[in-house]
Structure 1
Amino acid sequence: MTHSLPLVVGISGASGIAYGVRLLEVLRRLGIPSHLVMSRTAEITLAYETTLKVAEVRALADTWHRVDDLTAAPSSGSFRTRGMVVAPCSARTLGAIATASGDNLLTRAADVTLKERRRLVLMVRETPLHLGHIRAMAAVTEMGAVVAPPMPAFYSKPRSLADVVDHGVGRVLDLFDIDAGIVSRWREGDDDATVEA
């Protein structure tokens, strides 16, 4: 099944780049077009946290854009999308979105998503949080974004890091009414708290 409207995927330099990579893989499997914007710091984090090359991540997306290209399609509200996910979202990127700075394509695309009243999901990766982080999260929430830090679900008894990542990515896609089939869901009414995949 092919879906016409793309999802914009932003990958910032926060730890947890596996979330963005897995999101691209799942969107490709589901036939949902993706537009990728990676920050320069994300490219550095990729080398620290994986064995993947930047070109391999770009190849997972239907279209990729340079982070400094403010003429790219996602920088315009007339470019129709189903929304945007920033996975992972650094505290710096969160702050830039909260202040509508739009100084690069990642933060500009997020700003456009908000101004067009489309769904923006931020997988914020920072801990512990200080008051500035919390205020930035409150600000983007008031602007219409969804702050969705990747939180492991231990009730699903994950057997690997891949299980944890899948759960986080699947729950984010739930926010777009996309069931990727990768979430272990709570089965209501079961006394032993079993889950179904």
Structure 2
Amino acid sequence: MKLPDMTPRLIVGISGASGAAYGVRILEVLQQAPVETHLVISKAGRLTLMHETGLRQNDIERMANVVHHNHDIGATISSGSFRTLGMIVAPCSVKTMSEIASGMTASLMSRAADVVLKERRRLVLMVRETPLHRNHLRTMSELSELGAVIAPPVPALYTHPECVQDIVDHTVGRLLDLFDIEVGLAERWPGIAPEIGAR
């Protein structure tokens, strides 16, 4: 009898918001981790990738173990019986966020996210938008109540980043922490020693 493949799987979605470097970096570092990545990119996500990174779709797809087309509703990741650690959408556009929150599942990305929610797995949305109006905030609140983790790409300045890549790396490391995946990118807070004589 063939034993089931127990390699952990993570779905990585890249939508059309600014911040394509985050999705790219996640795929890069997971190539060295014992995790099987399943990639889905929206049409707008492909455009943003080329504009912001200069990378073509084929360059990105080679970083993933499995690539799914966003219109392929019959893909493995559209079913709850396909076991995964969950899904991360980085970056996550307001359109994608709203589609997931409404349960419309008009694309594979939103369908896969909906499956992750219904199976009570971890869904992390790196929502990239600012400033936020009331509907944005309401949608985020609703998704949080459904079990999603809203994780905007907020730089951790306490790490004293020296370049944009430092900011991206730390954020990616913290996002993967949410799936208990250690990739050595997140600088751990060592605490601050109290000043001598301070009260």
Partner of 2:67: 64
**What is the TM-score with the length of structure 1 in the denominator?**
0.94
**Could you say if the C-alpha distance between residues 41 and 131 of structure 1 is closer, same or farther in structure 2, counting changes exceeding 3 Å?**
same
Q: Does 1:156 align with 2:159?
A: yes
Q: Equivalent residue for 2:130?
A: 127
Q: Which residue of 2 aligns with 1:143?
A: 146
Amino acid at match of 1:9: V
Residue 45 (1) aligns with residue 67 (2): no
Identical-pair percentage:
53
Query: Structure 1 counterpart of 2:181, which letter?
Result: I
Shift of residue 168 of structure 1?
0.9
- The answer to whether the 8 A contact 1:3-1:32 is kept is no
Q: CA deviation at 1:185?
A: 1.7
The structure that has the greater radius of gyration is 2
For residue 97 of structure 1, give the secondary structure of its aligned residue in structure 2. helix
- The residue number in structure 2 matching 1:77 is 80
Code of the aligned partner of 2:52: E
**Tell me, what secondary structure is at the counterpart of 1:85?**
strand
- The residue that corresponds to 1:166 in the other structure is 169
1:132 CA displacement? 0.6
Q: In the alignment, which residue of structure 2 is the partner of 1:96?
A: 99
Report the CA distance between 1:3 and its aligned residue: 6.8
Q: In 2, distance between residues paired with 1:190 and 1:143?
A: 40
Give the Å deviation of 1:191: 4.2
1:55 aligned onto 2:58:
yes
User: Residues of 2 paired with 1:152 and 1:67: CA distance?
Assistant: 30
Once residues 158 and 184 of structure 1 are traced to their aligned partners in structure 2, the CA distance between those partners, rounded to angstroms, is 10
Structure 2 gap segments, 5+ residues each: none
Structure 2 counterpart SS, 1:185: coil
| Alignment match, 1:114 | 117
Conserved 8 A contact 1:36-1:64: yes
TM-score (norm 2): 0.93
Alignment-mate amino acid for residue 115 of structure 1: K
Q: Contact (CA 8 Å) 1:102, 1:111: kept in 2 or not?
A: yes
Asked if 2 retains the 8 angstrom alpha-carbon contact of 1:141 and 1:147, the reply is yes
State yes or no: 1:28 paired with 2:26: no
Task: Tell me by how many angstroms 1:180 deviates.
Answer: 1.2
Find the aligned partners of 1:71 and 1:95 in 2 and give their Cα distance. 22
Q: Which 4+ runs in 1 deviate beyond 2 A? A: 188-192
Question: 1:10, 1:84 within 8 Å by CA — same for their partners in 2?
Answer: yes
Q: CA RMSD in A?
A: 1.4
Following TM superposition, by how much is the alpha carbon of 1:51 offset from its aligned partner in structure 2, in angstroms?
1.5
Query: Are the counterparts in 2 of residues 3 and 33 from structure 1 also a CA contact under 8 Å?
Result: no
Matched residue type, 2:33: L
